[in-house]
Structure 1
C-alpha cells in the first residue's frame, strides 16, 4: 500500500455471494476511507488476487463453490497475515468455526448480524495492526541483515566486566566459546594485561559518557597473535556495549605499507624516499664530524633499447640482476643506504627506472670515490644472462661531493644527476665529477627550453618545404615540411640543437601539432591558388605519437583545414616501431583508412625488423642520408641502400632516398630502382611562395654535373 502522504486510499476486497451484504459492507467501508472492490464468490476472488493484492479482505464463509475458509488458505500460500489481513464474516458463532477461521489464516472475524459502525472501526484496526506487524517484521529483517553483515563481535557487559550478552561477528571469533563467557567476569577469561585496560575503558565510558577505544593483542592456539580493537560505549548507568574487531590483517597491511613506502618492490632495494631520509641522516653526521661525503648517481646506458627490443619483462629482470650484483659485490663500507627492516645485508638505493644511487660516508679523498665508481662500472660491464641471451650493459655515473658541491640532499642529488648527464654526453660508460661549469651548461639548456616555449607562443618558428621527385623524370611527387627557428637574439637556430631539447622537455608535442596544422593549411592555400599539390610529409616523434590526443588531433586538423587525407604523409621514426601499444597501432590504422599515408624516416639507422613494419600501415621507407652520402663509392653504403630498395619492392612499399646531392648518387639510385629522391641536387628547402613556383612547373631537372654545397 502506498503511504498516506501520497493520498491513495487503502483497498478492501469484499467477497460475498449476497449482493445486499456486499452493498452494505461497501457503503460502510467507503465511509471509513476504503477504496472497495467486490467479488461474488471464491473463484472470482482468487482471480482478483493478483499483484498487487488488496490491503484488506472481508471474506464471507458460506459461499457456493469455494468457501471462505478455502479462499483464506489459498491466499495464505501467497501472502502472510501482515501483507494481506483477512476479516472473516460468518453467521456461525460457535467456537469450532472461529478456530477454523483462525487456522485458515484469518486475522479477525465478524459475526452476523453485523454491527455496521463497529465493522468500519474493526477494519481500520485490523489494517493498522497488519501494517504495524509488517513494519516490525521488516525492521527485524533489517536488523538481522545488519548483524549478519557486521564483522565485529558485540558484547554487553556490566560495570564490573561481567559478560551479559554476546553476538558473533562473521569475521571475528571470541577468545573462548560463548558458552564459557556469559555470566563470567572477563578477568577470569582474558589475560591480565588485556582485561585491565578494557576494565579501565568500561569505567571511563560510564563515568564520562563517551566512547572509549582499547587496542590489545591475544595469543591464539596455533601460536600466532591476533590484534583487536575494542570500542566501548555506555548503555545505561551500569552497562556497556563493546564492539570488538579483529584488526590483524589491517596491522599486517600497515607493515606492508611501511615497507612499500621505503623499499622498491621490483628490486627490494631502498627507494627514493628511503634514500633521501638516509642521505639527510648521513649529511647531519658528516657536518657534526666535519667529514666529506660522496653521492654517486648511476644510470644504465642503452637500457631503453634493451627494454624496447626484448620487452619489459626482460628489462625488469635486468634491473633485478643489476641490483643483486651491486648488493652482493660491493663492500658494506663503500656505501650507505637505508637499512632493511632486519638491519642486515647490503643495500643500494634505486630511485626509479634504471637510476641507482650510492652514498659514500667519511670519504677522505677523491681517489676513494673514483675507485668505487670504477669498480661499479666493472661489475656492471660483466655480461648478464637473460634467458638464453647474453646482455652487456654499461653505466654512466655522476659524482657530487659534500660539502664542496652542496650542503643538502636536494642540491647534491641535482648536481650528481647533472654530472651523470655529462658522463652521457662524453660517450657514456664513464664517470664524471661535478663542477660548476656543468650547471652553466644545464642552465643554458633550461634557457633553451624556455626560449622554445616562448618561440612557439610568439610565432618565431616557420616551415620550409623540400620537394621530392620521381627518379624517372623529375616530376614533383611530394614535399617534406621542415621546421626552422628564427630566434630574435640568436638568429637562425639549427633543428639539431632545438629538436632534441624539445623532445626531452615534452615541447615536441605542441611543436609537432603546430607543424602539422601549418603544413595542412599551406596545402589548402596552394590549392586555393589553383596549384595542384603533391603529398606533404610531416615528421612525427615517438613522444608526440604517445600523446593521448595525437591521433584525434590529426583527424581534427584534416577536417578543420579541409584538405584531403590522401595529401598528408606522416613520417615515423624507427623507435616508434619497437614496442608499440595496440592502441597506437589501431589509431594509425584508422588514420590510414581515412587516407593518411605513413613512411618510416631514416630507415636503417634503428632496430626495425620486418615483423615490426608489418604491424603498421607503412607505405614507404625513407633511406637515411648517411647511407646516401657514400654512394656510389662506399661498398657498405651501396650494399645497404641496394638491400633497402630491394626489400621495399618485395614488401610492396615505396622507397625514397634523402640527402641526394650529386649526379653520381642520383644515377646510382636511379639504376638501383629507387623510385623517389630528395636532396639539394634538386632543391634546397624553400619558403611556400618559391615552392609554389616549382609546383606550377611540375618537375625539377637535376643539373647535368653538379655537386651541391
Structure 2
C-alpha cells in the first residue's frame, strides 16, 4: 500500500482499540515543515490547516515534538503554552472535542525526524501505560513503513533521474508533456539543445572531462530553468519545457539567454572547456494532435539548426518540416538504391589538352530509379551528406571502380587514372583505409587511383584527423586531388601545409575564358604555383575549343568537360578509351584543333611510369 494508506490503517486500529482516542500522522520535510499524511477521523479542513506549518519550540504538540525530537504531552490544550501562539489551531481542536494531545516523533537512524505520531484525547489528560506501549509498537511499524516508502521513492527517483547530472531524464520528460493542452496556442514550448562538442571533448580530454562538461551544463540549465523545467533526454541532448509567459513572448530571446549562460568556460582542473550548443524549439500552435507532435517539431528545428550552422537557434515553422521531410525522404530513397544495388559508376574523360587524348577518368555516382531512369548525383547530393549513407555510398563507388579498372586492365584498355570523390565523413570515419585495402590491394590499381576531396573537406573544415588521413593515404601510393578549387575557403598557403598531387580548377573560372583577364591571371598563377609544388592542374567545365586553347596558352595541361565528353557508363567509356586513350598509338584527337593550338604528336605514358610523381605522367 502507499504510505498514507498504511498510516491510515494503523490509526483506525488504534482508534478501534482505544475509545475516545483520535490519531494523526504528520510528516516533516527537510526544511522543517509539517505536512498531513493520515488522520482518518479528523476533518480534512483541520488537517490541511496544519500543512506547511514550520516546526518550533512552541508549535502545538506535533510541531514542538518534531523540533525537540522528544515526545510532547499537552494534558490541557486549552491552557497549554505551546498551543497558545496558534489560537486558530487551538480553537479548531477544542471545537472538535480534542482536549489533550500526546505527540511522539518518528526518528530515523541518522537522528532525523521523519514524522510525528499523535493521539488526541477527548478529556484533558496524558497517555496511559497501555497507550504508551501501543504507540511504541506503532512507531516501530511506522519506521518499517517509512523505510519501505523511501526505498520505493528512491527506485522511482533513480528511474526518473539522470544519474550523471541529477536532471529528470527522458522518461520524466515524456511524462511531463504527455498531458499538456494542445488547444491553447502559445501556452507552452519545448526547446531541445544539443551539446555540439561533447564528442570532441571525450576524444581529446577523456570521458571524465566530458562528464564534467555535462554536469556543469546541466547545473546551469537547472538554475536557468526555474520556474520551468530542464531535462537530460540523451547523451548530449537537453530539453527545456517552457511555460513562463515572459519567456514565451520571445522564445528566440529565451534560447539566446540559454546560449549566453552556457558561454563561460568550464574549469576542469588544468583545462578550460567552452560548451558549444545548438538549439531547436517549437511553440504549441493549437493544431497539433498531441504534445509529441510539438516535441517532434522541436527535433526537426534542431536538426535544421545543426544542418544550417551550429551554435545558433532555429524555431520550427511548417516550411522547415517540409524541407526536412524531403531531406529524409531523399536519404531513404538513396538508402533503398544502395540496398537494391541501383547505384552505378559513370565516367567522364579527363583529357590532355595538347593532343586531346584521354589520360584519366572521373568516376561519377549515378542512381538508377526503379523505373530505369538515370539520376545524377546532384539530385541526391543532400541525401549523400548524411554520415551513414555517405560512408556506404563511398564504399560502393570504390568497389565498383576497382572492378571496372580491373576489367579494363585485363582487356588491355588504357584508362590512365581514375578519380573518385570522397567526403569529410570518409576522411574522419577511420574506415577509408580499410575499404581501400579490400578493393585496391593490387598496387597496380592503387597507383592509378586518385581520391578527390573538395575545399570544404580539405580546407574549410580541416582538422588534424583529415590531415593525418591524407598523409597516410599518400604514403600508401594513393593520389590526392583538390576538387572544385576556388569555390570555398581557398588559400594557397594551405597547399604548403597539406600538399596535393593535383588541383582541379572549378568551372566558374573556366566559363569566363577566353576573355576574362581576372580568371586568366588566377589560372596562370595557380599553374605556376602548382608546378613549384610538383602538382598538376586540371581545368573543369571546358565546353568550347576557345577555352581549351586559352587554357593551353596559360600553361594548363589537362581539361575536363562537355567539349570532350559527358559522363557515360562503363561499356561506352571503354569504346571511347579505345579511340582516344593516351597510350594507344593509333588514338585520335577529340576534335580538330584550332590554328592557335599547336599540333603535336601523342606522347603516350607507359604503364610502368605511374609510380613516378603524378604530374610526370601527363
Which range, TM-score by smaller chain?
A: 0.5 to 0.7
Are the equivalent residues in 2 in contact too, given 1:604–1:623 (CA < 8 A)? yes
Q: Residue 491 and residue 432 in structure 1: after superposition, are their counterparts in 2 closer, same or farther (change >3 A)?
A: farther
Residues 457-479 of structure 1 show CA distances to partners (whole Å, capped at 9, x for unaligned) of 33322222111112333232111
Are the equivalent residues in 2 in contact too, given 1:398–1:421 (CA < 8 A)? no
Partner Cα distance (1:629, 1:455) in 2 = 34
Shift of 1:540: 1.7
Are the equivalent residues in 2 in contact too, given 1:296–1:398 (CA < 8 A)? yes
2:162 aligned with 1:262: yes
Once the two structures are overlaid, the 10-residue window that deviates more, 617-626 or 676-685, is: 617-626
> Residue 506 of structure 1 aligns to a residue in which SS?
helix
Q: Residue 622 and residue 295 in structure 1: after superposition, are their counterparts in 2 closer, same or farther (change >3 A)?
A: same
Correspondent of 1:573 among 454, 467, 470: 454
Correspondent of 2:281 among 386, 398, 412: 398
2:331 aligned with 1:449: yes
Shift of 1:295: 0.7
Shift of 1:704: 4.9
- The residue that corresponds to 2:469 in the other structure is 584
Higher gyration radius (CA)? 1
Shift of 1:416: 0.6
Partner Cα distance (2:505, 2:347) in 1 = 19
Residues 244-300 of structure 1 show CA distances to partners (whole Å, capped at 9, x for unaligned) of xxxxxxxxxx9xxx89x8377xxxx777xx453553464368569989321123569
Q: Within 5 A, what are the aligned runs for 1:302-317?
A: none
Partner Cα distance (1:490, 1:361) in 2 = 53
- The residue that corresponds to 1:115 in the other structure is none
- The residue that corresponds to 2:590 in the other structure is 700
**CA RMSD of superposed structures (Å):** 5.4
Correspondent of 1:621 among 461, 484, 503: 503
Shift of 1:487: 0.8
- The residue that corresponds to 1:296 in the other structure is 191
> Residue 507 of structure 1 aligns to a residue in which SS?
helix
- The residue that corresponds to 2:170 in the other structure is 276
Correspondent of 1:514 among 366, 386, 396: 396
Shift of 1:362: 4.7
Taking CA–CA contacts closer than 8 Å with sequence separation of 6 or more, which of the two structures ends up with the larger relative contact order?
2
> Residue 469 of structure 1 aligns to a residue in which SS?
strand
Partner Cα distance (2:354, 2:524) in 1 = 17
Shift of 1:429: 8.4
Are the equivalent residues in 1 in contact too, given 2:331–2:386 (CA < 8 A)? no
Are the equivalent residues in 2 in contact too, given 1:286–1:361 (CA < 8 A)? no
Q: Within 5 A, what are the aligned runs for 1:410-449?
A: 411-422=293-304, 432-434=314-316, 438-439=320-321, 441-449=323-331
TM-score, reference length from structure 1: 0.48
Q: Residue 288 and residue 602 in structure 1: after superposition, are their counterparts in 2 closer, same or farther (change >3 A)?
A: closer
Partner Cα distance (1:641, 1:683) in 2 = 23
- The residue that corresponds to 1:38 in the other structure is none
Count of residues in correspondence between the two structures = 428
2:559 aligned with 1:677: yes
Q: Within 5 A, what are the aligned runs for 1:106-505?
A: 262=162, 274=168, 276-277=170-171, 279-280=173-174, 282-283=176-177, 286=180, 292-298=187-193, 327=220, 332-333=225-226, 335-337=228-230, 357-363=239-245, 367-373=249-255, 397-401=280-284, 405=288, 407-408=290-291, 411-422=293-304, 432-434=314-316, 438-439=320-321, 441-489=323-371, 491-505=373-387
Partner Cα distance (2:520, 2:262) in 1 = 38
Q: Residue 332 and residue 453 in structure 1: after superposition, are their counterparts in 2 closer, same or farther (change >3 A)?
A: closer
Q: Residue 263 and residue 637 in structure 1: after superposition, are their counterparts in 2 closer, same or farther (change >3 A)?
A: farther
Shift of 1:418: 0.7
Once the two structures are overlaid, the 10-residue window that deviates more, 569-578 or 645-654, is: 569-578
Are the equivalent residues in 1 in contact too, given 2:298–2:316 (CA < 8 A)? yes
Q: Residue 474 and residue 294 in structure 1: after superposition, are their counterparts in 2 closer, same or farther (change >3 A)?
A: same
Partner Cα distance (1:460, 1:506) in 2 = 17
> Residue 681 of structure 1 aligns to a residue in which SS?
coil
Q: Residue 356 and residue 262 in structure 1: after superposition, are their counterparts in 2 closer, same or farther (change >3 A)?
A: closer
Are the equivalent residues in 2 in contact too, given 1:292–1:403 (CA < 8 A)? no
Shift of 1:485: 1.2
Are the equivalent residues in 2 in contact too, given 1:295–1:412 (CA < 8 A)? yes
Partner Cα distance (1:359, 1:404) in 2 = 19
> Residue 600 of structure 1 aligns to a residue in which SS?
strand
Partner Cα distance (1:546, 1:328) in 2 = 32
Correspondent of 1:690 among 572, 581, 591: 572
Residues 104-156 of structure 1 show CA distances to partners (whole Å, capped at 9, x for unaligned) of xxxxxxxxxxxxxxxxxxxxxxxxxxxxxxxxxxxxxxxxxxxxxxxxxxxxx
2:549 aligned with 1:660: no
> Residue 660 of structure 1 aligns to a residue in which SS?
coil
Gapped regions of structure 1 (runs ≥ 5): 1-215, 220-253, 339-348, 385-390
Q: Residue 460 and residue 642 in structure 1: after superposition, are their counterparts in 2 closer, same or farther (change >3 A)?
A: same
Correspondent of 2:445 among 564, 570, 575: 564
Are the equivalent residues in 2 in contact too, given 1:294–1:363 (CA < 8 A)? no
Residues 40-64 of structure 1 show CA distances to partners (whole Å, capped at 9, x for unaligned) of xxxxxxxxxxxxxxxxxxxxxxxxx
Once the two structures are overlaid, the 10-residue window that deviates more, 328-337 or 469-478, is: 328-337
Q: Residue 602 and residue 411 in structure 1: after superposition, are their counterparts in 2 closer, same or farther (change >3 A)?
A: same
Q: Residue 334 and residue 622 in structure 1: after superposition, are their counterparts in 2 closer, same or farther (change >3 A)?
A: farther
> Residue 262 of structure 1 aligns to a residue in which SS?
coil
Shift of 1:435: 5.0
Shift of 1:580: 1.5
Partner Cα distance (2:307, 2:428) in 1 = 26
Partner Cα distance (2:517, 2:382) in 1 = 31
TM-score, reference length from structure 2: 0.55
Q: Residue 556 and residue 425 in structure 1: after superposition, are their counterparts in 2 closer, same or farther (change >3 A)?
A: closer
Gapped regions of structure 2 (runs ≥ 5): 1-107, 112-153, 267-273, 582-588, 596-618
Q: Residue 289 and residue 647 in structure 1: after superposition, are their counterparts in 2 closer, same or farther (change >3 A)?
A: same
> Residue 674 of structure 1 aligns to a residue in which SS?
coil
Shift of 1:639: 5.2
Shift of 1:566: 2.3
Q: Residue 643 and residue 458 in structure 1: after superposition, are their counterparts in 2 closer, same or farther (change >3 A)?
A: same
- The residue that corresponds to 2:57 in the other structure is none
Shift of 1:587: 4.0
